[in-house]
Amino acid sequence: MSLLKRRKPSFEGGGLVLFMDVGDAMRAEKVLKSARYAVKLVAPPPELRRGCDLAVAINLVEQPGIERVLGDKETPYVQVAPLKAGTSDLLDIVKTTDFSDWTMVKAGNMKLTFEKDSGIIVNTSGGGCPDIPHLHAELVGKRLDQAPRPKDIGFTLCALMLDLALEESLNLWQGDEK
Amino acid sequence: MLLIAGTVLVKDMPLTIGEVKADRELLMVNGYRIPCAQGTGAMVSAALATTEHLGLEPPHVLLAGDTGRGSGSRDIYEYLIENVVGLSPTVLALHYCLPDMALTGKLCEAVARCARRPVMIADAASMYAAKAAGLAREFDIFTPDSSEIAFLADPDATHPAYIARHLFDTAVADIPKLVSAAYKCKGATRLLLVKGATDYIVHDGKIIETISEPDVPALEAIGGTGDTITGMVSAFASAELEPHEAAILAARANRMAGKYAEPTPATRVGVVVRQLPAVYRNHLCHWSGVCYSEGVQQ
């Protein structure tokens, strides 16, 4: 049963991909549309302009997936930036909690917990993007150094924060191993 | 009718709407089996446990498979925009999805056309989208955790990954300060349930209740234990409790279910959800004054 009348996807997403030249921007739009991302060519505001006066508007939450597609298709870009003036840089700090036999690492809205002895990921929590339950299923039960990286198989900023937590967990666990 | 909308990790599951039933460890909707795992599955499981105890109609759910590419999320938004007036839910709870500010705006416009406006609840990325679009006040209840209240308090962030560093630091130390900032920048709903080591129930910027017992620290590590709170809030709201009453009961029940489960950080959320019937039997009457005997309200 079809429940929907299909509409064109929207792209009011709060993010821009910035480019050095117009050709790169136009190629990126084509590449991203082929990958079924909702994007649009726009003029970046002066404060965000880095190279040319053309940018691709994106849903900022999809930043990791979009950067991966551009990388895979060898499409150069300068950076992805939040559209809203005053937005802070991407969080890069983590906090850890000691649960005796386990360590929980928190990065942004995401948490990853691993067993200290074995390095097995026992839980992930937090977040709210649709790839997070999928990543939970993919990561839990695997050893930190054998688990897939969320930045490689996820698509959203929640996945990027989970990747940051995984990276720090690896550092902690491998540091303890030495 | 309580309507819960969100994505699930069942790959390629098309948009589906229907009444949810329990099938042993799984949820059943129109023949699809949904695991009680982190995300919408955990939320629906807790809501169903609550409606079953209260003798209410089971939740209706609007679900779609989506593992991050967003197509299932957009299907959910678009279906709701077209049909929410006809569905006329008493409570509409939005959960895991790819946040879309434009579609959230259109959904709020559609909800405004309902003959009776539903109680609007958002958690997870539906909450991110509502806040980022400047539409927090179109919702009645948000259920953020400590990092998410920092996000609601940041006037510029469109996702918790972009919150200001000082707010992330504050999220550990000073929740009341973040609550105040969230209201100031219009990032908060009338009722907030801030989930954490201490749960804060906030009405119009004023902290009206804090709940910190029983203290079960391992719950924070278990994926889905915030989702269960939102599921219970939604179910209690559909029983026509006031939002703050629904939030207080949900926070208490989640903690007690955690205590009953005797969890470690490696415990799965399903173990916690399975404690809810016993928690309700043993405590809900005392907590709420609403007592049931064999499904009959006393």
* CATH number of the A14-82 domain: 3.30.70
Contact A130 B67 (CB under 8 A): yes
Is the Cα dihedral B94, B2, B185, B194 positive or negative? negative
- In this prediction, residues B246-268 reach a mean pLDDT of 98
Residue count of chain A, please give it: 178
Residue B90 and residue B235: Cα distance in Å, rounded?
11
Per-residue model confidence (pLDDT) at position A3: 54
Separation of alpha carbons A143 and A121, rounded Å? 6
Q: How far is CA A105 from the centre of its chain?
A: 17
Alpha-carbon distance B251 to nearest alpha carbon in chain A (angstroms): 17
Dihedral angle computed from the Cα positions of residues B289, B293, B297 and B298, in that order, rounded to the nearest 10 degrees: -60
Residue A48, pLDDT score = 78
DSSP state letters, A127-172: --STHHHHHHHHHTTSBTTTSPPHHHH--SHHHHHHHHHHHHHHHH
Among B67-81, B98-112, B231-245, B281-295, which stretch is predicted with the lowest mean pLDDT?
A: B281-295
* Mean model confidence pLDDT for chain A: 89
**Which residue in chain A has the smallest CA separation from B35?**
A133
CB proximity B17 to A under 8 Å:
yes
> How many CB atoms sit inside 10 A of residue A76's CB?
14
Residue at B268: amino acid letter: R
The structural domains of chain A, with segments of one domain joined by +, span 14-82, 94-177
Number of neighbouring beta carbons within 10 Å of residue B264: 17
Q: Which are the contacts of A106, defined by CB distance < 8 A and separation ≥ 6?
A: A94, A95, A96, A97, A126, A165, B147
Q: Which tokens hold the place of B295? A: 């499904």
Min mean pLDDT across A48-57, B23-32, B219-228 is at A48-57
Question: Is residue A52's pLDDT more than 90?
Answer: no
Q: Which of A4, A101, A104 sits opposite B15 (nearest CB)?
A: A4
Any idea which of B15-24, B42-51, B167-176 has the lowest mean pLDDT?
B167-176
Residue B153: both structure tokens together:
């308090």
Residue found under tokens 């400590």: B146
Q: What is the pLDDT of residue B102?
A: 92
* Residue A153 to residue B115: CA distance in whole angstroms: 43
* Upstream peptide bond of A150 is cis (omega within 30 degrees of 0): no
- Count structural domains, chain B: 1
Averaged over B244-265, what is the pLDDT?
98
Q: What is the mean pLDDT of chain B?
A: 94
Contact (CB, 8 A) for B280 and B50: yes
Chain A partners within 8 Å of B156 (Cβ):
82, 84-88
Partners of B104 on chain A (C-beta within 8 Å) are none
**Contact: B68, A134; criterion CB under 8 Å:** yes
Q: Provide the 8-state DSSP code for A60.
A: G
**ipTM field:** 0.94
* Burial bucket for residue A74 (CB in 10 Å: 0-12, 13-18, 19+): exposed
Least confident range from A45-54, A65-74, B39-48, B249-258: namely A45-54
| Domain enclosing residue B141, as ranges | 2-297
A1 confidence band (pLDDT: 50, 70, 90):
very low
CATH of the domain at B219: 3.40.1190.20
Dump pLDDT digits (tens) for A17-44.
999 898 999 999 999 999 999 899 998 8
Q: Test A104 with B265 for CB contact under 8 angstroms.
A: yes
Q: Which residues of A are less than 8 Å from B231 in CB distance?
A: none
Which top CATH class is A94-177? alpha beta
pLDDT, one tens digit per residue, over A82-130 is 987 777 788 888 999 999 999 999 999 999 999 999 999 999 999 999 9
- CA atoms of A154 and A129, how far apart (whole Å): 10
Asked if the domains A14-82 and A94-177 are classified in one and the same CATH topology, the answer is no
Best to test chain B binding among A115, A117, A125 (most B CBs inside 10 Å)? A125
pLDDT tens for B21-75 read 998 889 999 999 999 888 999 999 999 999 999 999 999 999 999 999 999 999 9
Closest residue, chain A, to B162 (C-alpha): A90
CA distance A176 to chain B (A): 20
In this structure, chain B runs to a length of 298
Residues of chain A found within 8 Å of residue B105, distances taken between Cβ atoms: 12
Residue of chain B with shortest Cα separation from A37: B69
pLDDT at A57 over 70: yes
Per-residue model confidence (pLDDT) at position B164? 87
- pLDDT for A177 equals 62
